[in-house]
């Protein structure tokens, strides 16, 4: 009986230890990659979408990690700008369409993959990005 409990406890501790190790590993990996990015969609397969709400005014460049430097876009966030919420940017033919969009603060942008290949939406430019540059 006691032995059984010990084994159960050991198993529980082992699982916790593994979870902590995995968490630390994940944090370490992110730190190494320097993910100070405003947004990073990860892989967006065909037909899928990603959204981000721009709260502050400013000029925000972004790019597709897979198709940079050709596939880049920009969001201008300006108080008083006329925009719909959410607003839409399509990803098609390895381009963002439109490549430049102006919206007011608080607008959610939805990137929709209308193409056949996967894309990503990452804040910044390929030169400031931390991923591999293609």
Binding site for Cu ion (CB under 5 A): 64, 66-67, 71, 119
CA 6 to chain centre: 43
Measured at CB, which residue is nearest to Cu ion?
A: 64
Residue 64: CB minimum distance to Cu ion, A: 3
Residue 50: CB minimum distance to Cu ion, A: 12
Q: Which is nearer to Cu ion, 37 or 104 (CB)?
A: 37
Residue 48: CB minimum distance to Cu ion, A: 13
Residue 119: CB minimum distance to Cu ion, A: 3
Q: Given its phi and psi angles, is residue 42 left (phi above 0), alpha (psi -120 to 50 degrees) or beta?
A: left
H/E stretch holding 28 reads helix 2-33
Buried b or exposed e, range 72-104, using 16+ CB within 10 angstroms: bbbbebeeeeebeeebebbbeeebbeeeebbbb
SS3 6: helix
Residues 6+ apart with CB under 8 A from 126: 63, 65, 68, 69, 72, 133
């Amino acid at each position: 009986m006691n032995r059984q409990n010990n084994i159960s406890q050991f198993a529980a501790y082992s699982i916790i230890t593994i979870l902590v190790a995995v968490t630390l590993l994940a944090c370490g990996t992110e730190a190494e990659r320097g993910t100070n990015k405003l947004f990073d969609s990860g892989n967006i397969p065909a037909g899928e979408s990603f959204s981000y709400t721009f709260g502050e005014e400013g000029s925000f460049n972004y790019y597709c990690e897979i198709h940079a430097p050709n596939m880049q876009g920009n969001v201008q966030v300006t108080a008083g700008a006329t925009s719909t919420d959410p607003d839409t940017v399509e990803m098609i033919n390895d381009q963002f369409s439109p490549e430049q969009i102006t919206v007011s603060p608080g607008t959610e942008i939805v990137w929709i993959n209308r193409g056949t290949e996967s894309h990503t939406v990452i804040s910044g430019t390929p030169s400031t990005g931390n991923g591999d540059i293609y």
